[in-house]
Structure 1
């Protein structure tokens, strides 16, 4: 399971870096075209918006996999033993439920409803923009299941080693 986690990490890092670099290039082209060439690019703003949505959703999935997401640790840092395990496990389960219901189910609904609409500047279906929701939701679920497995293994092996 850790090899799957590491493989997804590498792919997400590569894709996020590629998206970010392309966004910098497109934004630079937009500035050059507008102010130097006096001929603003019509496609660049739409491409930047599309790329930003995908970059954000994939980055959210990556950060969730690293367990570096935003959370309030005022209470959980003071917990130990079974309470800490229960808290961490519950957080992962809440992420799974959120990803399944909102990102995957809701994202698939939004994707299927907007596939017939065309993104005017890019001439692609708008559903491709919303496809980032179920993709990131699926990645979040895989990461969270892996995190649950790691939490369980750590609890089980720590319990067996202590007298």
Structure 2
């Protein structure tokens, strides 16, 4: 139930952020070619939205298990071994995301705020731009824990 609500929330967030990005790029083109003076903030906003859309989109796809995968090995395994492999992959991904996105991303956000980094055109604190990393990290870890628990339940039913 929570997973479906989170999927729905992420879908709407990605659509909303992509819409902002589209409007920003559209305004940049209009201001450049019609008014002969491009707004300086449109490029920066579009870049920031691309970062958020990409990372949140990756988290969303991870939760739906629709990411690119080479599935030659799992296809040749028994159901029991395949479920064990799913649990192992979920654990490995969770550890990686914990180290890179949660620990590394949180440090990056903290340092950005501590140093007072701001973007050139929008004067937005860069910590807000990088905040997507720990947010997405929590989401991916939740999805992978959910997947591992689900695979473990299936494994217990088989045994």
Query: How does the TM-score come out when normalised to structure 1?
Result: 0.92
Show the counterpart of 1:25.
23
Aligned to 1:59: 57
Following superposition, the deviation at residue 82 of structure 1 comes to 2.3
Report the equivalent of 2:40: 42
SS at match of 1:39: coil
Aligned to 2:150: 150
Q: CA deviation at 1:134?
A: 0.5
- 1:119 is paired with a residue whose SS is coil
* Selected match of 2:109 from 105, 108, 111: 111
Give unmatched runs, 5+ long, in structure 1: none
Q: Which residue of 2 aligns with 1:6?
A: 4
Say whether 1:128 aligns with 2:122.
no
Q: Secondary structure at the match of 2:72?
A: coil
Deviations 1:105-161 (A, max 9, x none): 0001111111111112111111111111101000000111111111112222344xx
- Poorly superposed stretches of 4+, deviation over 6 Å: none
- Matches of 1:94 and 1:68 in 2, distance apart? 18
Gap regions ≥5 residues in structure 2:
none
8 A contact 2:97–2:141 mirrored in 1: yes
How many residues are matched? 157
Aligned-pair Cα RMSD in Å: 1.1
